[in-house]
């Protein structure tokens, strides 16, 4: 149960277009957004940031979701881990790959470029951040500077979301919760 109840009366507010878009993208109303709605400037600013980070770019959408997933796993945020796994599935990442995410360094399921990005995401998601110059040099062999900015953008966005949702103990919605639980049951 969330430490404060998510907003429920957004349908009569100026925030309705944001929640309509969120439902279109995700298939449900995200409880973290419903918490942000108590301070509309946070919600609208976050929405703009998330839209820019998740926009089609140089880094494939599925990899962006896996980056968010391992960043959230490293931070211990179940809410974000479930959301990112659910989102990765929707972007075509196989369930087998998501189940092997902790073994990305040695698993043949992952491309070398994915391994480099996930390594940086895992180390950046931990506290303290343990990304090294060597990690970045490896990342640079696979990605351009603008692509690396996209990667770090995803990591940083989840740094915010991991703190937000862990602090509020945001209640997980049914769809991402069911998917996340199914990952653990198939092993």
Q: Using alpha carbons, select from 29, 121, 41 the residue that is nearest to residue 75.
A: 121
In-domain check, residue 3: no
| Residue 42 resides in a domain | no
Quote the number of domains for the chain. Answer: 1
Q: Which of 90, 79, 85 is nearest to 32 (CA)?
A: 79
Q: Which domain holds residue 160?
A: 58-185
* pLDDT more than 90, % of the chain: 86
State pTM to two decimals: 0.94
Angle between helices 61-75 and 145-168 in degrees, nearest 10: 40
For residue 155, being part of any structural domain is answered with: yes
7 Cβ contact list (under 8 Å, min separation 6): 34, 35, 37, 38
In terms of Cα–Cα distance, which of 45, 147, 28 is closest to 86?
A: 28
Express each pLDDT in 3-29 by its tens digit. 999 998 877 788 888 888 888 888 899
CATH code of the domain covering residue 147: 1.20.1290.10
Q: Is residue 52 part of a domain?
A: no
Q: What are phi and psi of 92, to 5 degrees?
A: 95, 10
Segment 42-69 shows an average pLDDT of 96
Across residues 46-75, what is the average pLDDT?
97
pLDDT category, 46, cuts 50, 70, 90? very high
């Amino acid at each position: 149960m969330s430490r404060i109840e998510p907003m429920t009366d957004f349908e009569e507010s100026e925030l309705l277009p944001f929640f309509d878009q969120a439902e279109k993208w995700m298939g449900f109303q995200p409880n973290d957004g419903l918490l942000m709605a108590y301070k509309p400037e946070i919600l609208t600013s976050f929405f703009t940031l998330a839209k820019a980070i998740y926009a089609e770019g140089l880094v494939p959408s599925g990899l962006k979701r896996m980056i968010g997933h391992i960043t959230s796993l490293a931070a211990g945020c179940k809410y974000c881990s479930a959301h990112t796994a659910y989102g990765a599935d929707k972007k075509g990442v196989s369930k087998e790959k998501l189940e092997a995410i902790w073994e990305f360094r040695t698993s043949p399921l992952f491309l070398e470029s994915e391994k480099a990005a996930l390594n940086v995401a895992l180390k950046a998601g931990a506290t303290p951040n343990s990304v090294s110059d060597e990690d970045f040099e490896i990342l640079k062999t696979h990605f351009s500077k603008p692509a690396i900015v996209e990667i770090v953008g995803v990591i940083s966005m989840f740094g915010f979301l991991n703190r937000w949702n862990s602090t509020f103990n945001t209640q997980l919605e049914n769809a991402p919760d069911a998917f996340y639980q199914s990952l653990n049951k198939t092993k």
